[in-house]
Chain A
Amino acid sequence: MLLPDDLAGPILAYFGRLLGRPLDDRESLVALPACEILRLADLLPDGFLPALVGMLKGGGPGIFEKLLGDHEESNRDASERFFRRYMEMVLEPPEQGKDFNPLEAWLPPEACQDFAFLASRESFFLRQEIAHINAWIGPNFGLGPFPPGAQEEAWNALWTRITST
């Protein structure tokens, strides 16, 4: 995420206030030493971490190393805190339980009428458990059930059904 320029000003002002020093532009943020960038991350609420990363994006080859604390032991804890919080912030929580079916979540049956869209989901489809495929393909397309290991057969049946109607 690269933040638009009209958002950059207020965000930099907020970051500067937290740090107790003015940040005039992205360059002044990027130029901060690793310990200051990580101190800023510590001061920010979790919801602002994507904005911090967005502001740092494109900041040159050394910017990622700053998030790693420039590999200095004194920055290690702050760096690990940043990555842990940012990871929890931006990743979806792992879906638990047998009831979660990725096909139901991310492959809407109505979108399958778009051949290009459907073709682009072949790898995703083939990675799914056959139980999830059967639970999705039966009610939505009247196909199956398919035996264990028959992901490709199920895909071919789905593709034939969609392209022949």
Chain B
Amino acid sequence: MERAVDEDHLDMKGAAGTPVPVKETDTDERAQRARLSKVVLHDDDEHTYDYVVEMLVHCCSLSRESAFRCAVEVDVRGVTTVFYGTSEECGRRRDKIHAYGADPHLPRSRGSMKAEVQFR
């Protein structure tokens, strides 16, 4: 199931969507780890579906439909992966999520959702 539509994914998929294996060398393990990261979003009770969708479209460049599936997954499972890429790019996306602020639809919401970068 397609989740993320983002040009950052093109380093792991060819332009036509064909998986391109990441080159692996003994001396380049660190670089490989840097390429294989993901951003994981955690559930809470302070954010609405509307917020999650809007935030993921803005912060992770997901389509509205992909963002909604992530919103359902985080609601049902408690976590969802919202972005794949280099650790540097994942860090930037995580920071954007953390800077997005409270959910304006919900008066009790006082902050952003929690996200973290994980190695795949």
Contact = CB atoms under 8 A, between A and B. Distances in A.
B100 A67 contact: no
Q: For the side of the interface on B, what is the size category?
A: 20 to 34
B102 A83 contact: no
B102 A64 contact: no
Contacts of A121: 101-102, 104
Interface stretch (B8-16, B23-31, B66-74): B66-74
B1 A68 contact: yes
Interface in A58-84: 58-59, 61, 63-64, 67-68, 71, 83
A123 interface: yes
Given A63-B77, A123-B99, A106 B68 contact: no
A64 B73 contact: yes
A77 to B, nearest CB: 13
Q: For the side of the interface on A, what is the size category?
A: 20 to 34
Q: Enumerate the 7 nearest inter-chain pairs by beta-carbon distance, A residue then B residue, closest first.
A: A123-B101, A106-B104, A120-B102, A120-B110, A64-B73, A124-B104, A87-B68
Interface of A: 1, 53, 56-59, 61, 63-64, 67-68, 71, 83, 86-87, 90-92, 102, 106-107, 111, 116-117, 120-124
24 contacts: A1-B75, A53-B72, A56-B76, A58-B76, A59-B76, A61-B77, A63-B76, A64-B73, A64-B77, A67-B76, A68-B1, A68-B69, A86-B72, A87-B68, A91-B68, A102-B104, A111-B107, A120-B101, A120-B109, A120-B110, A121-B101, A122-B101, A123-B99, A123-B112
